[in-house]
Structure 1
Amino acid sequence: MPPADVEDTWSDSDDELEADHETSVDLGVPDGPVEDAAVLLDAAVSRIGGHPTFLSTPHPPISHATCNNCAQPMELLIEIWCPLEESPNDRALYVWACANGSCQRKEGSVRAWRELRFNKKYAEKLERKLARRKAKELEEAKAAATEAAKKAQPKSNPFALGAMSAPNPFGLGSQVFGGAAPTEPGPETESADRDGSPDGEESESESDTEDDADDALAAEMQSASLEDSPWKALPAYSPFYLSTASEYLPPPPKVKVPAGATVDPDDDKASKGKDGGWDMEGYENSLDIDHVFERFTKRVSYEGEQCLRYELGGTPLPFASDKVFDQLFPLPPAPPLPVTKPGFMVTPPRKRTYAPDALPLCPHCQAPRVFECQLMPNLINVLRTPSGAQKKLTDEERRAEVLRALKGSGSSGGKGMDWGTCMVFSCKKDCSAEKEEGSTWREEFVLVQWDE
Structure 2
Amino acid sequence: MDYDSDSSAGEDQPYTETLTLLGYASKEPTDDSTSHLGGTPTWLDSKTTPSGSLAKCKVCNDNCSLLLQLNGDLPSKFPGHERWLYIFACRRKPCRRKDGSIRAMRGNRISKVAPTPSKPQSTPEPAKPSINVGAQLFGVSSSTTQRTNPFATSTAVNKANPFAATPFATAAPTSKPSANTDSTTSDITTLPETFASKARLSTPPPSHEPPHEPWPTLDQLSAPFPHYHLDADYETLSAPPTPKQSLPTIDTDSSGGGTSGRVEDLFESSMDKTFQKFADRMAQNPEQVLRYEFGGAPVLYSNTDAVGKLLTPSTSGEGKLVVTASEGSRMPRCTRCGAQRVFEVQLTPHAITELEEEEMGVDGMEWGTVIVGVCGVDCALAEEGNVGYGEEWVGVQWEEVQKGGR
Q: TM-score, normalised by structure 2?
A: 0.61
8 Å Cα contact 1:425-1:444 kept in structure 2: yes
The letter for the 1-side match of 2:227 is: P
Residue of structure 2 equivalent to 1:239: 227
**Deviation string, structure 1 residues 260-319 (Cα, Å, up to 9, x no partner):** xxxxx9959xxxxxxxxxxxxx98994221111111111111111101000000011001
The letter for the 2-side match of 1:293 is: F
8 Å Cα contact 1:422-1:446 kept in structure 2: yes
Three-state SS of the structure 1 residue aligned to 2:274 is helix
C-alpha change, 1:75 and 1:421, in structure 2 (3 Å) is same
Matches within 5 A, 1:136-215: 213=170
C-alpha change, 1:295 and 1:214, in structure 2 (3 Å) is same
Three-state SS of the structure 1 residue aligned to 2:39 is coil
C-alpha change, 1:97 and 1:213, in structure 2 (3 Å) is closer
Q: RMSD value over aligned CA atoms? A: 3.5
C-alpha change, 1:286 and 1:70, in structure 2 (3 Å) is same
- Specify which of 380, 391, 404 is matched with residue 352 of structure 2: 380
Residue of structure 2 equivalent to 1:79: 69
Q: TM-score, normalised by structure 1?
A: 0.55
The letter for the 2-side match of 1:326 is: K
Alpha-carbon distance, 1:437 to partner = 4.9
Three-state SS of the structure 2 residue aligned to 1:424 is strand
C-alpha change, 1:314 and 1:16, in structure 2 (3 Å) is closer
Unmatched 5+ stretches in structure 2: 8-13, 117-166, 175-213, 248-263, 401-406
Residue of structure 2 equivalent to 1:296: 278
The letter for the 1-side match of 2:379 is: C
Please say which of residues 105-114 and 432-441 is displaced more in the overlay: 432-441
C-alpha change, 1:232 and 1:72, in structure 2 (3 Å) is same
C-alpha change, 1:445 and 1:412, in structure 2 (3 Å) is same
Residue of structure 1 equivalent to 2:108: 116
Residue of structure 1 equivalent to 2:330: 358
8 Å Cα contact 2:295-2:344 kept in structure 1: yes
- Specify which of 18, 23, 30 is matched with residue 25 of structure 2: 30
Residue of structure 2 equivalent to 1:326: 309
**Deviation string, structure 1 residues 337-376 (Cα, Å, up to 9, x no partner):** xxxxxxxxxxxx5447565443211111000110011010
C-alpha change, 1:48 and 1:101, in structure 2 (3 Å) is same
Q: CA–CA distance in 2 between the matches of 1:310 and 1:430?
A: 16
Three-state SS of the structure 2 residue aligned to 1:299 is helix
8 Å Cα contact 1:284-1:291 kept in structure 2: no
C-alpha change, 1:15 and 1:379, in structure 2 (3 Å) is closer
Q: CA–CA distance in 2 between the matches of 1:451 and 1:100?
A: 17
Residue of structure 2 equivalent to 1:51: 40
Alpha-carbon distance, 1:331 to partner = 4.7
The letter for the 2-side match of 1:377 is: P
The letter for the 1-side match of 2:230 is: L
Q: CA–CA distance in 1 between the matches of 2:377 and 2:57?
A: 27
Larger Rg: 1
Unmatched 5+ stretches in structure 1: 1-11, 128-209, 218-227, 256-264, 269-281, 336-348, 387-409
Alpha-carbon distance, 1:82 to partner = 1.1
More helix by share: 1
State how many pairs are aligned.
281
Structure 1 residue 88 and structure 2 residue 70: aligned? no
The letter for the 2-side match of 1:441 is: Y
**Deviation string, structure 1 residues 114-149 (Cα, Å, up to 9, x no partner):** 0002346xx47x79xxxxxxxxxxxxxxxxxxxxxx
Alpha-carbon distance, 1:433 to partner = 4.0
Residue of structure 2 equivalent to 1:306: 288
Structure 1 residue 101 and structure 2 residue 99: aligned? no
C-alpha change, 1:13 and 1:107, in structure 2 (3 Å) is same
8 Å Cα contact 1:62-1:231 kept in structure 2: no
**Deviation string, structure 1 residues 370-414 (Cα, Å, up to 9, x no partner):** 00110100111111124xxxxxxxxxxxxxxxxxxxxxxx9422x
8 Å Cα contact 2:50-2:388 kept in structure 1: no
Residue of structure 1 equivalent to 2:54: 64
More strand by share: 2
The letter for the 2-side match of 1:83 is: D
